[in-house]
Amino acid sequence: MPYNPNKELKKFYSISEVATKFNVAESLLRYWEKEFPNIKPKKTEGRGIRKYTTEDIAEIQLVYNLLKVRGMKIGAAKQVLAKNHDGANNTAEVLGYLQSIRQELIEISNELKDL
């Protein structure tokens, strides 16, 4: 599930919107915040409602790619991000791009079947 921050116009996203984007539970996002310090959404005063920026969502995309797509354990994902954050980011971008191409090819194939 690739995320492209250039397509988004909103400045902040709720935890439920982000959870829906990645098809994960809100509790999992809160857990990832504790485990991965680069995920740090702003919180409102008083109730502490999380407000995610596109940068936060990009970090979540990295974590999602390592844990859910590549099947890494939390410790291994932390090591990858600590040693080579930029490399992990580039890999996530390439995977996102390839997934979008795959989706386009599926749509083209379905259209050809309808002819």
Structure tokens that stand for 112 in this block: 């050809």
> Per mean pLDDT, which of 16-30, 36-50, 86-100 is the most reliable?
16-30
Are 70 and 61 in contact by the 8 Å Cβ rule? The answer is no
The single residue listed with the structure tokens 């749509």 is: 107
Calculate the CA 105 to chain-centre distance: 23
Q: What is the pLDDT of residue 23?
A: 94
- Planar angle of CA 32, 41, 93, nearest 5 degrees: 65
Whether the pTM exceeds 0.75: the reply is no
Domain residue extents for the chain: 5-114
**5-114: which CATH topology?**
Multidrug-efflux Transporter Regulator; Chain: A; Domain 2 (1.10.1660)
Q: 35-49: per-residue pLDDT in tens?
A: 998 899 998 888 888
Separation of alpha carbons 48 and 68, rounded Å: 27
Residue type, 97: Y
What phi and psi, each to the nearest 5 degrees, are found at residue 44? -70, 155
